[in-house]
Amino acid sequence: MSRKYDLSPVLRDVSLRLFSGERLALTGPSGSGKTTLLNCLGGIDRPDSGSVLIGGEDLTRIDGEELAMLRRRKIGNVFQFFHLLPTLSVRENVEFPLLLLGVAPAQRRERAGSLLERVKMGHRAEALPSRLSGGEMQRCAIARALVHSPRVILADEPTGNLDSVNSANILELLQELSGEMETALVLVTHSEEAARICQREVRMRDGVLEEVRG
Amino acid sequence: MNLKPVEDRGGTARVSGVLLRQFTLRHWRGQPLRALLLVLLLSLGVAVFLSIRLANRAAVASFTNFASVLSTQADATIGAPAGLLPDSVLETLRQNMAVKGTDISAGMELIPIVEVVCAPPRSGEDGGIGARGSFTLIGVDLVALQNFAADQKMERRWFEEASQADEQNGGGALGRLLGRRNAVYCSGKLAAKEGLRVGSLLVLVVNDQPVSLEIAGIIPGRSDQPESPAGLLVMDLPALQELSGKVGLLDRIECLFPKGARQGASRDALLTRLRAAVGEAGSVRTGESRLAAAELMTRGFRLNLTILSLLALLVGLYLIFQALDAAVVRRRSEIAVLRALGVRGSEVRRAWLWEAALLGVAGGAVGVLGGWALAQGTVRAVSQTVNSLYYANNTEAAGLHPGEAAGAFLLAVGCSVLAGWFPAKRAAATPPAQLWAQGAGPGGAEADSALRTWVGCGLLFGAVGLAFCSPLTFSGGSRFALGGYLSAFFGVIGAGILAGDSLRLVAWLAARFSRHSAPRQLAQSHLRVPTSRHRWAAAGLLCAVSMTGGMSVLVGSFERSVSEWIAHLLQADVYLTSDSNQAATAYNRISSSSWRKITSDPAVSDWDAMLLVPVEFGGGSIRVAGTSLDFYQRRRQFSWLKEPLSAEVFDRKQNEGRCVVSESFAERFRVGRGARIRLPTPKGERALEIEGIYTDYGDDQGIVMVERGHLQEWFGTSAVSSLSLVLKAGEDPEAVRAQMRASHPGLAVFTNVHLRGEVMRIFRQTFAITYALEAIGVAVALAGLGITLASILAERRAELTTLRALGMSRTGIAGVAAWEGAILALGGTAGGLISSLGLGALLIFVINKQTFGWTLQPAIPLRALLLLGVVVPVSGAAVAWVVGRYGAELPSDVTK
């Protein structure tokens, strides 16, 4: 795919294939097009040419409302600034994607509960986000990103706002959970440690993708 | 860990419900005061609107429910098109409608009625006109009613209770009432209020004489009818005919159709037969048309009040809009996350609309209750004005009418959803968190400024165009200035939309004075590029100020016109009328012997007598005044719009077929000088040519003025309604007044000075309610300013933290908010004052002219506008300062 902003090419004939359970690190300097690529993968932005297929569904051929539905079903997001919903408790935040999908309360509770235990947040389930530390918030965000078993997790600098201890914990979690759940992971990062948890690493430079390893 | 994939069972409506439950309501719970204030402000708007509607309804209903207390609501009423019905009409009707076999008229009852509106005599130095209230004396044929009651359960109970009451008090069945000259039944309300019991005496003035009436009983309550009005008194028909000088005459005949003929074709057939039977002698009106006549008469007045009552609601709408728009900005990061999680734009929009609707539901529910409570106060003010201008009523309470309540509730919800539409659209357009984080948030401050300017200008141009539209005309000649009202609405909204631009100018000007003050500099910097919330707060203020200022211009112009008019009109030294004429429909007269005696008093050098009679004309009700046209002309009492071209109309010998008419009449019936009209009189129609048109701000239904002698002859009376006396040089008007009051206790006597004062007092009383409505509108707008600043400060926590770190005190931070509020209020007020001049012109030259038919002399009440220009910005600064103090206490911003 290709994408231009104000006639300046940001993505130039980028081609990428990702399999279930595969972890891909996307690195590169600021302004190289990493976030644009991630947005195109998540259906947030549309390429000018080319296509994006998730599980056979072409994101470039569906309208905004359908894209929202696709994000709801097939994509999980992890953000640098966590973006937990402030009025919802930890448990409610994690249950929220299931609520959107119309999952029954008991099943919601069970899935969210087991994921929270898995990310070691079971004891803070009823706390509001404003009461959590940065590491706790990101663990909660990871649980929310995975709770509906998405096909792909898009993580944009998930450790960019955390200290080294918390960063290591979060990366470990992402590695383990994406493997256990066979979810593809695209990890945008500047950190070499973060990139190391991925089987593949690609580097973006001036809108062109280069395979670094894998 | 292995979680199975989940199926999508979601639906837009269900997701919106989740958003409403998990976000909206939690936000409300998190800031209950803000939510409560918003609901209260909306409810205030609804309450004011509903209270005026209920008060109007109660005042109109009072017109028709006097007689219905005695009998079932009449199916039809027969009255004379002019003057009174002779008794003989009743006999003719009974013969023509005689029952034959299975005739549909079998069982129809004809109830003759005489009605007199009167008042208690003054005690000492009385209050103003209308201060004593009015009573309605109804004379009915009790013998006939008693016979009729044999078939009517409720009426029979009336007579049984009345009989029992009589017996307990030592009288026979209805004996105390029947045949007794001055015996009356009074309402329970009046008895309780005045402490009346059977046998008590009640003194009232009828025509020009005080009379003592003995209370024969209390009208029993009926569960299927409204409670008897407080001012209702019932007499036997012949007794009231004699008392009021209407021997052999009736005001109307009420017709009660048999049960099987009260609806549908049978009813129509019966009405047709009735009309044929009555012929030229009278006109037949149905119950509905009687109510419609009362509604028609007061339509302009009620409509104006209703529209004015919408001011607070309109300002409240700005607040809802502004609050929801602010919520979009405040919660945009949250919306962005929701969008990133897969919530669709349509789901966000729906949730936002639900929030607006919920606000409307809460505001509407509280507003309905508040409106009913408020109506108990406004009903008196409305009733007083209706009493002075249209017809007698003593309405003191307003019921909660289900239809009106439902209407107000739906208005609240509908308006709230309407106000929430644009914020909902903005919320739905919020991009997902990934894009929002890159600064692509929903519409920056200037994102849609071009569109806004175009819309604002478009509305203003539309307003100018609509001002030139012709009014809607209804049957009976009444008109509705639809184009004028739409023009006002478009103009105020358009100017409101452009209000934000005035903020830049005020901020720029403020910058000239803020170079050496940190709070002022900071405050004006916030308004250099005003946010949408700044703009909407200024728009709310502009709306309130322009409507208040516009009304001030109207009232000022009215006052100037009325002052000039009464200066023309009141040229005599002393004025007399029946002391019972406390309401517009009180037609008590001064007998021939009394007025001849008064006018021959040695202190009198010149005089005029006026006879005023109501007649039906062009499907509505007007008044015909009989006066000495020569006296009017000599004393320059006419304020001409179109002066007669010849002096013949002033010459009694030549003016029988001539008349002059008031401007309201000319406007209402679209007639001009030279037009010929046919006026109904008891002696047949009279053709009259309109010779001139004069202004008269005391009546909006229309007056035809003819020579008194002709009118007295046509209506077969030598009595008059009022007298104007010019005293000989050296005579003291106060002394003459005192002497005449002593010798004529049934007459109200005014000196020129006193009457001028009374006219202006009634004028100001009429507008008292409008001042209250305007004050509420301005208060709501100021509260809106406070809410806006509170939400802006809450969003500026990072800045507040910085200011505190830089060493700014709480007072300094409050000062920033106060200056910001003052600049906002100044911008809104300045725009409001400018648009109030346009609105004032619209009210004077279009709405007033089309509704009431009055030409007003424009006047700009500088003092009132100046006061508004000072009070609103100062209040705005004070509200903002309080909010600033609160803002200074907000916890520091810690970004997670």
ipTM over 0.85: no
pLDDT tens-place string over residues A53-108: 998 889 888 888 888 888 888 999 888 888 888 878 899 889 888 888 888 889 98
Higher pLDDT, B436 or A27: A27
Cβ neighbours of A68 in B, within 8 Å: 339, 342-345
Chain B interface, best mutation among A36, A39, A44, by max B CB count within 10 A:
A44
Average the pLDDT over each of B169-178, B660-669, B691-700 and give the range with the smallest value. Answer: B169-178
Per the CB < 8 A criterion, the answer to whether B196 and B212 are in contact is no
Residues with Cβ within 8 Å of B34's Cβ and at least 6 positions away in sequence, in order, are B323, B787, B790, B791
Among B286-290, B294-298, B314-318, the least confident range = B294-298
**Closest Cβ opposite residue B3 in set A38, A65, A181:** A181
Res. B3 pLDDT band, cuts 50 70 90: low
- Asked if A77 and B434 come within 8 Å (Cβ–Cβ), the reply is yes
pLDDT of residue B126: 54
Tell which wins on pLDDT, B105 or A144: A144
Interchain pair B6, A137: CB under 8 A? no
Q: End-to-end CA distance of chain A, in Å?
A: 21
Q: Are B679 and B617 in contact (CB under 8 A)?
A: yes
Tell me: pLDDT of B208 over 70: yes
Between B478 and B692, the more confident residue is B692
Predicted confidence at residue A16, as pLDDT, reads: 92
In a mutational test of the A interface, the residue from B26, B341, B435 whose CB has the highest number of chain A CBs within 10 Å is: B341
Residue of chain A minimizing CA distance to B343:
A68
Of B5, B22, B433, which has the smallest distance from its Cβ to A83's Cβ? B433
User: Is the predicted pLDDT of residue B363 greater than 80, yes or no?
Assistant: yes
Quote the CA–CA distance of A145 and B509 in Å, as a whole number: 52
Whether the per-residue pLDDT at B68 is higher than 50: the answer is no
**What is the reported pLDDT for B896?**
33
The pLDDT value given to residue B302: 67
Residues B687 and B58: their CA atoms lie apart, in Å, by 39
Distance set, CA B251 to CA A123, B113, B246 (Å):
87, 6, 9
Q: What is the pLDDT of residue B598?
A: 92
pLDDT band at A17 (very low <50, low <70, confident <90, very high): very high
For B348-363, what is the mean pLDDT?
Answer: 89
Which helix H or strand E contains B625, and what residues bound it?
Answer: strand B620-627
Q: What percent of chain B has pLDDT over 70?
A: 79
Q: Which of B893, B895, B896 to mutate to test the interface with A (most CBs of A within 10 A)?
A: B896
Would you say residue B391 has pLDDT above 60? no
- pLDDT, tens digit, 9 for 90 and up, residues B737-779: 999 988 888 888 889 888 888 778 777 777 777 777 777 777 8
Residues of chain A in contact with residue B336, where contact means CB-CB under 8 angstroms, are 83
The residues facing B750 across adjacent strands are B575
Query: What local confidence, expressed as pLDDT, does residue B174 receive?
Result: 54
Going by pLDDT thresholds of 50, 70 and 90, the confidence category of residue B69 is very low
In DSSP notation, chain A reads -BEEETTEEEE-S------TT-EEEEE--TTSSHHHHHHHHTTSS--SBS--EETTEEGGGS-HHHHHHHHHHHEEEE-TT----TTS-HHHHHHHHHHHTT--HHHHHHHHHHHHHHTT-GGGTT--GGGS-HHHHHHHHHHHHHTT--SEEEEESTTTTS-HHHHHHHHHHHHHHHHHTT-EEEEE-S-HHHHHTSSEEEEEETTEEEEEE-
Per residue in A126-141, is it b (16+ CB within 10 Å) or e — as a string? eebbeebebbbbbbbb
Which of B375, B379, B66 lies closest to B226, judged by CA? B66
Q: Which domains does chain A have, with CATH numbers?
A: 3-213 (3.40.50.300)
B415-425 confidence digits (pLDDT tens): 888 888 888 88
Sorting pLDDT into bands at 50, 70 and 90, what band is B170? very low
* Residue A141 distance to chain B (closest CA, Å): 11
Judge contact between B880 and B822, C-beta under 8 A: yes
Angstrom distance (rounded) from CA A10 to CA B640: 81
Cβ(B746)–Cβ(B207) under 8 Å?
A: yes
Using CA atoms, how far apart are residues A67 and A63, in angstroms rounded to an integer? 6
- The percentage of chain B sitting over the pLDDT mark of 90, rounded to a whole number, equals 13
Q: Can you tell me the mean pLDDT for A128-146? A: 89
Task: Let me know how long chain A is.
Answer: 214
pLDDT band at B442 (very low <50, low <70, confident <90, very high): very low
DSSP classification of residue B442: S
Q: Which pLDDT score is estimated for B66?
A: 46
Highest mean pLDDT among A157-171, B134-148, B299-313, B317-331: A157-171
The per-residue pLDDT for B289 is 58
Backbone torsions φ then ψ of B9, nearest 5 degrees: -115, 15
Q: What residues of chain B lie within 8 A of the CB of A87, using their CB?
A: 22-23, 26-27, 30, 334
Q: How confident is the model over B504-522, as a mean pLDDT?
A: 74
Decide if pLDDT at B736 tops 60: yes
Residue B196 belongs to what H/E stretch? none
- Break chain B into its structural domains and give their ranges: 10-71+298-443, 72-293, 580-745
- The maximal CA–CA distance of chain B, rounded, in angstroms, is 117
Residue B807 has pLDDT above 90, yes or no: no
Amino acid (1-letter code) at residue A199: Q
pLDDT at B65: 46
- Contact (CB, 8 A) for B199 and B214: yes
Q: What CA–CA distance (Å, rounded) separates B800 from B33? A: 21
Phi, psi dihedral angles at B317 (to 5 degrees): -65, -40
Pairing of strands B252-256, B109-118: antiparallel
State the nearest Cα–Cα gap between A39 and chain B, in angstroms: 7
Q: How many CB pairs under 8 A join A and B?
A: 125
Q: Please judge whether B896 and A64 are an interchain contact, meaning their C-beta atoms are less than 8 angstroms apart.
A: no
Structure token digits, residue A200: 């593949």
Answer whether A73 sits within 8 Å of B438, measured CB to CB: no
- Out of B31-35, B71-75, B587-591, the most confident range is B587-591
Give the dihedral sign, CA A137/A141/A142/A147: positive
The DSSP code for B844 is: I
State chain B's mean pLDDT as an integer. Answer: 79
User: Mind listing the pLDDT tens digit for each residue in B228-262?
Assistant: 667 778 888 888 888 888 888 898 888 878 777 77
**Which residues of chain A make contact with B4, given a CB cutoff of 8 A?**
149
Contact A149 B3 (CB under 8 A): yes
Q: Is B218 helix (H, G, I), strand (E, B) or coil?
A: strand
Contact by Cβ (8 Å): B434, B418: no
Cα angle for residues B23, B24, B30 (degrees, 5° grid): 85
> Given an 8 Å threshold on Cβ–Cβ distance, is B896 in contact with A103?
no
The DSSP 8-state label assigned to residue B259 in this structure reads G
pLDDT, position B477:
65
What's the pLDDT at B436?
Answer: 59
Q: What confidence tier does B895 reach under pLDDT thresholds 50, 70, 90? A: very low
pLDDT at B159 over 70: no
Please choose, from the candidates B18, B657, B567, B130, the residue with its C-alpha nearest in 3D space to the C-alpha of residue B384.
B130
CB B771 within 8 A of CB B868: no
Which chain B residues are closer than 8 Å to A116 by Cβ? none
The H or E element spanning position B406 is helix B402-428
Looking at beta carbons, which residues of chain B come within 8 Å of A102? 7-11, 14
**Which of A99, A136, A153 best probes binding to B when mutated, by most B CB atoms within 10 angstroms?**
A99
Using the predicted structure, report yes or no on whether residue B294 has a pLDDT greater than 80.
no
- 3-class state of residue B676 by DSSP: strand
User: What is the nearest CA distance from A13 to chain B, expressed in angstroms?
Assistant: 22
Nearest CA to CA, how far is A46 from chain B (Å)? Answer: 12
